[in-house]
A and B are shown apart, each in its own frame.
Chain A
Amino acid sequence: MAIKDYIRERFFPHIWCPGCGHGMVLNGLLRTFDSLGISKNEIVMVSGIGCSARISGYVDVHTLHTIHGRALAFATGVKMSRPELNVIVPMGDGDALAIGGNHFIHAARRNIDITAIVMNNRIYGMTGGQYSPLSGYGTLATTAPFINIDHAFDVVELAKAAGATFVARTTTFHVKQMSEFFKEAILHDGFSVVEVLTQCPTYFGRKNKVGNAVEMVKFFKENTTTIGSKAKLESPELIERGIFVQKDLPEYCREYDKVIERAKKKR
């Protein structure tokens, strides 16, 4: 199938700014669907609120554009009701980890077979450039006009600690790796998290004077490295990319099937 067959042209043009990384994530996702060959009827995309959340509407699958931070809770209801569906939840960093932080850790803890994609551009874009829990100490934002004193989460460490059984990180520069990770994550039987470092040149870029979109993407190329690489040993400040966790643990919906079995015996 052509990539175009996965989008809803009626929904275009999209709302994203020129240079935004979200379109690259969308592209990566569509290529993943294509390579997996899953029927569009078997995919549900659930999103919350923010620039990132608009991604679901553009894709010709079952799409649920919900409320801020709660996408994973809606997705939990969808998945438990119909475990055979592939449920994918694209979220922004604020959506996933500020207002939605509680749902994020609990979905991970349950190990429910949902693919969570954190499109981390370190800023609230839709509302105009406020700091998020991923902005990081020392950054600037419209709500941190002098300096941001909030420390950032490490999405990978948080997901690992919460119990996610697949955790990966990549960037919008590494588009092939992004598609590979999406594929692995969707095929993974359990809660999977893929963090994609993405650029918001309009707000994060301008506020923090880190250049235009091209320069921001170049930053991802130059400041990230493969997990455990020699480069990381030499330059510890480099951000690691790769699959951090990939393990088999009982999946929630199938565990619940066991509950049903036990309950029926007790009738």
Chain B
Amino acid sequence: MNGTLKFVQGNEACVEGALYAGLQFFAGYPITPSTEIAESLAYRLPQMGGKFIQMEDEIGSMCAIIGASLTGSKVMTATSGPGFSLMQEALGYAIMTEIPCVIVNVQRGGPSTGLPTRGAQGDVMQCRWGTHGDHAIVVMTASNNQDVFNITIEAFNVAETYRTPVILLFDEVVGHTRERLIVPEKDEIPLLGRLRTSVKEGVDYHPYLPREDGRLPMSDFGGVHRYNVTGLYHDMWGFPSENPSVVDGLIHHLTDKIRNNVHIITKYKQYFIEDARTLLISYGCTARSALHHVLNRRQRGEYIGLLELQTLWPFHGDLIREKCKNAELVVVAEMNLGQLYRQVKIAVDRPERVFLANRVDGVFITPTDIKNMLRLIQGRGV
């Protein structure tokens, strides 16, 4: 791969990815361990003619990016657990109004103020169900700088394709790990821009009438089409409606547009899974240790593999079931009390072979931790 070689933090890799994807507007509020994203963008965005604003809180940050997106900008905010909690109402608004935006949550230990400077993966379910009401959401993650870069670009592409907020769920370990990153040449990675309406001025434009392919072309605020945007249930003009068929149609549109494309949205990596008798499933920082362990054990002839998930939501249950088909033992490694583990258990046949290898004390889970937990699960003792 041609490009510029850099030695950066995961948070900076996210910034590089966002700028590569064409980020134009960022609003944020300082919070550990995501602050470097805001700091870096405060420097980089204006150099490229983009806009950065430090808002009065995370609620305002989330609202500001939604407003900016409506005018046609590619937008992002970044935060951690407590700030992410504050963003939930506006996140639901972006889902309801179908505004493309990217929200980075660099996880730390929770609940509450928790462990600000320690890694954790406890926000998997908050990402899924943090905002109220039935809804669909896209949540993506990565375990190393190059993948953080790539998945950040993917997040912007998915946000535009499905007119949806996309959450980038990183963690303190990934965010603060310094390692190499190659920023590819321009045009090497395909970018998706805003799909804008071809409806001419003076012709009735329906902001919420999906095309045959399900996509909704947008019209920038300030452009020739004036329409209403509301978090209330609304018809194809964006007007509030309590008509049961409008309400029913909208909630199914909002969820189906994500769920029906789960096979396209889902990104993952797999290592030695064809003949794996023990299959590890992991994501984010934990996947680094899981991979280390798998590589180590493979050298010793063990039939062990790793499925590293990069899309957590929508959860691709069929894929998980298929990948786990031949494994005698499925072990989900994550730094929480089993948030993804429960999903895997529901998805697979013979759920009794699914176990959890975790750590929730703020200490990064090491390959040795995983090795020891595997030995215990297998009845071999430490």
- Report A's interface with B, CB cutoff 8 A: 8, 10-11, 40-42, 44, 46, 56-57, 60-67, 70, 73-82, 84-85, 102-103, 106, 256, 259-260, 262-264, 266-267
Contacts and interface: CB of A to CB of B under 8 A. Distances in A.
Interface string B268-294: 000000000000000000000000000
Given A8-B228, A103-B56, A256-B46, 17 more contacts: A10-B237, A44-B221, A65-B232, A66-B63, A67-B90, A73-B67, A76-B27, A76-B53, A77-B64, A77-B67, A79-B67, A80-B68, A81-B72, A84-B222, A85-B222, A256-B51, A260-B47
B223 interface: yes
Contacts of A85: 71, 221-222
B317 to A, nearest CB: 32
B46 A103 contact: no
A204 B61 CA distance: 34
A101 to B, nearest CB: 10
The residue among A60, A103, A106, A262 with the most chain B CB atoms within 10 A of its own CB is A103
A102 B67 contact: no
The residue among B63, B227, B237 with the most chain A CB atoms within 10 A of its own CB is B63
7 contacts: A64-B228, A73-B63, A74-B66, A76-B53, A80-B68, A259-B46, A264-B47
Interface residues of B, number: 44
Contacts of B72: 81
Interface of B: 24-25, 27, 43, 46-47, 49, 51, 53, 55-57, 59-61, 63-73, 75, 89-90, 93, 221-224, 226-232, 237, 239-240
Contact of A77 (B47, B59, B66, B229): B66
Contacts of A8: 228
Nearest to B201: A41
A75 B71 CA distance: 11
A22 B98 CA distance: 29
Contacts of B71: 77-78, 81-82, 85
A62 B222 contact: yes
Contact of A65 (B67, B221, B231): B231
B70 A78 contact: yes
A40 B57 CA distance: 32
A267 B45 CA distance: 11
The residue among A42, A44, A62, A256 with the most chain B CB atoms within 10 A of its own CB is A62
